Structure 1
Amino acid sequence: MNSPIDTIRPTLNRDADATLKRAYARAEWRIVPLLFALWLLAWVDRANVSFAKLQMLSDLRFSEAVYGFGAGLFFLGYVIFGVPSTLFQQRVGARKTIAAITVGWGATSIAMTFIRGPMAFYALRFLLGVFEAGFYPGVILYFTYWFPAKRRTRNFSIFHSAAICSTVVVGLTGSAVLEHMSGYLGVAGWRWMFLLQAAPTLLLGCVAVFVLPDRPARARWLSDEQKCLIESDLARENSKMAGREDRPWASLRTPTIWNLILIYFCILSANAALSFYIPTILKEAGFGGYSAIGNALAAICVLGALLNVAFSSHAARRDEIRYHCAVASVVSVVSLVALVFVWHENRVATFVLLVTALAGTGAGISLFWQIPGRMLSGSAAAVGISFISSAANLAGFFTPWLTGLVRTLTGHYTSSFLTVACIQAIAAIALFAWTPVPGSER
């Protein structure tokens, strides 16, 4: 005979599950949109130089090599300051750190309005990387404080899609400014573009300090029951992933970390090539003036972002993170190789291949960042994640510089993009062959 408590336990469990789902939904609506907006603006402020390039190079008499080196210097600052910035966040909290670095990179982006020569260009690109260094790995760590793995995969893919959507903002606003504000008040259009696109960053940086709670326990918009349920749910998931490295610096001596750095470096090589050269590719493919290029860029990025979220959500439902990350890399490789042979011949094929290449690199990055969290915990996660992000982002320095240098020497991008495709293929091989993922079917 069942006791009264046995009779009511299923009802209590259902009530708790419903309350937990509501708590996660509330957290998603409070946290993800703001982080999405900040990541979008981060990418606008780092990548709008690709659209400014259409005027800036001739105005300042920069060569392609100067542009590529300056564009890549962002990632050198990013690499050097990634780990210190993330450790700083762990000490003082996400709210204060994210707000401070957002205001810092916003001010640096506004300063890009006033550059006159290569040295100022180099210095500000480096400084921009210094400020942005802790944001991305900090958000990756921050998501582990709030969401279990499956929710984290979907939410992170939405968050990361901001990087793709940022190109929509760069394309639409950049084309409008270059066409309609060039020469206004005696100021070049590309200078107006830097100024107007950086202003929202300063505003949202101030908003973040009032909106983002460091952890569920400090969220005023969650009830005490909801806070406890989230903390308990995350603790249960963490207990299932035994064997994760939790010593902060010991993790850096393991082959696992260096394998992950290799994979992420290869994925970022393709992503950097696309981020900094899509407007140029569209121009050479015959898409017309600034408005036509901006509209095509916007459409490519929206479609790429939707495919990224759909593919990453499917991977989360199947719990096949490693496998789907490898498949996304293969899609990117095939798209980049095909792109080299069509972008001077067929505008429709160029458009489609840019969509699939962007979706492939976007999904690859979104899914990749679900792997370290299943291998590391505690302080090791803070150090390991920021170290992976920092070291692998050297790809962001070398790829634009190499691409611009090859273009200066040969007059075309063919060799550069084929090299990037080969590098991306290494990521797929490493994922298939050398990367077991704890807590996952594959």
Structure 2
Amino acid sequence: MSVLFEADTVKPVSESDRELSKAFRSSEWRIIPLLFCLWMLAWVDRANVAFAKLQMLSDLHFSETVYGLGAGLFFLGYVVMGMPSTALQQRWGARTLISAIAIGWGLTSIAMMFVSSPTMFYALRFLLGAFEAGFYPGVILYFNEWFPTKRRTRNFSIFHSAAICSTIAVGVSGGFVLEHMSGILGFAGWRWMFVLQAVPTVLLGCVAAFVLPDGPATARWLSAREREMISRSVAEARLSVTPTSGKSSALFANPMIWMLAAIYFCILTANSALGFFMPTILREAGFGGYREIGNAIAAICLIGAGGNIAFSTFASRYRDVRWHCAIASLVSVVSLIVLVFSWHSDQTTTFFTLAVAIAGTGAGVSLFWQIPMRFMKAGETILAVPLISSVANVAGFLTPWLTGYVRDVSGSYASGFMTAGAVQALAAFLLVAGIPLVARRLSVQ
């Protein structure tokens, strides 16, 4: 990880620059690993239902539609609580909110052990999303307080790769638990999986309450001069941001916000399709038992995480990341199309296509969140970020539900994944053509 946190490629030219670079590296080492682990666990607790599905559906006699609706209801809770949770961060501070959120979603995931009916499944998935809603947009705002654009782009790609790495944790641990812990104390393996994968979340949430600062001003490892230097560097980076009105009414009427929400919706459609159905795809591709599926998921996501970080780091060298985000989206489109035609016939192609698709969607999400900061003032991000995230996460609700329904009706996931690929292609088009069009219209108003 030391390679990832190395100094910027431009060599410091003064003692002040060296001191600032040192302060940033020190802060990165204390902030990013903790947030990385929390984001990884968040994805473990939201997405482990995809692995539990291999046993849970037959045990509880759930249909694919019931599973898809339950998986998607997480995002309905996420949408409902996204903006209120982020507003609480301004009142309570990042440390308190992030800790409370982590403990809340961890306990909810533990409660998934006792699911016995569709109603209970739906309720807990909704509650899980409601608890987690403020974490991701809160971290985006938190990074905006800590890092200028170049460092933020690189560091956020590292943070976001935790979402991909979470699937490694789900695959390795889930495969072991389903295979070896079924029947212990009378509980099925999928029930044990929810408990064992959620306990670390609760523990790390408690750790966050003691070690995570609310911002540079309260970071005890920094000197007063270093705190001032970081704050000044972040403020100077914001001077190049396109100014817009600071009124919330103007923000809701700003077409750029809705364009960005539409783009993120399209990106999350493919992301959700992959996240909630990868174990099933691998089983249908002939990857054998639970352990083999888990190991395949771990390897796929390890490759995908590396591709995400490498591509996002390369893109961070350029001021405008729109084109790189569009390229990442198109990579996902091609991968999804190839996947539809390969997963029932060629294990090797399925494996590597999934890895490329994971890298593409991961880089797309990582790079996307560097775009909104260029079109609004710092004060506006408090509302704009959770608004964009909440609206776009409707995709997370619709995608698994409709994919499961299509599977029940047609007996195949093919049309669902082809639709996800088409929506992802729309994201690339809007990135390249939609954003400049809206920006030109705003400039002449």
On the 8 A contact 1:249/1:380 being kept in 2, the answer is no
CA–CA distance in structure 2, aligned partners of residues 225 and 187 of structure 1: 56
CA RMSD of aligned residues (A): 1.2
Superposition map of 1:242-257 within 5 A = 242-257=242-257
| Unaligned residue ranges in structure 2 (runs of 5+) | 1-11, 440-445
Q: Hey, what's the Cα distance between the residues in 1 that align with 2:264 and 2:238?
A: 24
TM-score (norm: length of structure 2):
0.94
- Alpha-carbon deviation of 1:136? 0.2
Q: Distance in 2 between matches of 1:54 and 1:327?
A: 34
Q: Is the 1:248–1:382 Cα contact (8 Å) retained in structure 2?
A: no
The aligned counterpart of 2:95 is: 95
Answer yes or no: is 1:373 the counterpart of 2:373: yes
User: 2:428 is aligned with what amino acid?
Assistant: A
Contact 2:242 2:375 in 1 (8 A): no
Counterparts of 2:247 and 2:191 in 1: how far apart (Å)?
A: 47
CA distance in 1, matches of 2:249, 2:275: 33
Distance of 1:378 and 1:329 partners within structure 2: 27
Is 1:313 aligned with 2:321? no
Distance 1:82 1:241 in 2: 24
Contact map agreement 2:243 2:377 (CA 8 A) in 1: no
Runs of 4+ with >6 A deviation: none
Q: In 2, are the aligned partners of 1:73 and 1:397 still within 8 Å (CA)?
A: yes
Contact 1:247 1:379 in 2 (8 A): no
The size of the alignment, in residue pairs, is: 427
- Counterpart-to-counterpart distance in 2, 1:142 and 1:328: 25
AA aligned to 1:108 is T
- Give a deviation string over 1:132-179, Cα, whole Å, max 9, x none: 000000000000000000100000000000000000000000000000
Deviations 1:77-132 (A, max 9, x none): 00011001001101211000000111100010000001111000000000000000
Contact 1:248–1:381 (Cα < 8 Å) also in 2: no
Counterpart residue identity of residue 376, structure 1 = M
**Aligned equivalent of 1:304:** 304
- Tell me what 2:443 maps to: none
Residue number in structure 2 paired with 1:61: 61
**Residue pairs, 1:265-284, within 5 angstroms:** 265-284=265-284
For residues 188-233 of structure 1, the C-alpha deviation after alignment (integer angstroms, 9 at most, x for no partner) is 0000000000000000000001111111011010011111111111
> Residue 373 of structure 1: CA displacement?
1.1
Greater CA radius of gyration, 1 or 2?
A: 1
> In structure 1, what is the Cα distance between the partners aligned to 2:249 and 2:101?
25
Partner of 1:353: 353
**Does structure 2 retain, via aligned residues, the 8 Å contact 1:244–1:374?**
no
Tell me the distance in 2 between the aligned counterparts of 1:188 and 1:417: 31
Instruction: Give TM-score scaled by structure 1 length.
Output: 0.95
Match of 2:196 in 1: 196
Equivalent residues of 2:76, 2:394 under 8 A apart: yes
Supply the AA of the counterpart residue of 2:212: L
Give, in angstroms, the shift of residue 377 of structure 1.
2.1
SS of the residue 2:399 aligns to: helix
Secondary structure at the residue paired with 2:315?
Answer: helix
CA shift for structure 1 position 379: 3.0
Secondary structure of the residue aligned to 1:145 is helix
The match for 1:78 is 78
Q: 1:305-362 deviations in whole A, cap 9, x for unaligned?
A: 0000000011001223100000000000000011100100100100111011111100
Distance 1:305 1:348 in 2: 19
Distance 1:120 1:289 in 2: 28
Identify the residue that residue 402 of structure 2 maps to in structure 1.
402
* Counterparts of 1:235 and 1:244, CA distance in 2: 16
Paired position in structure 1 for 2:330? 330
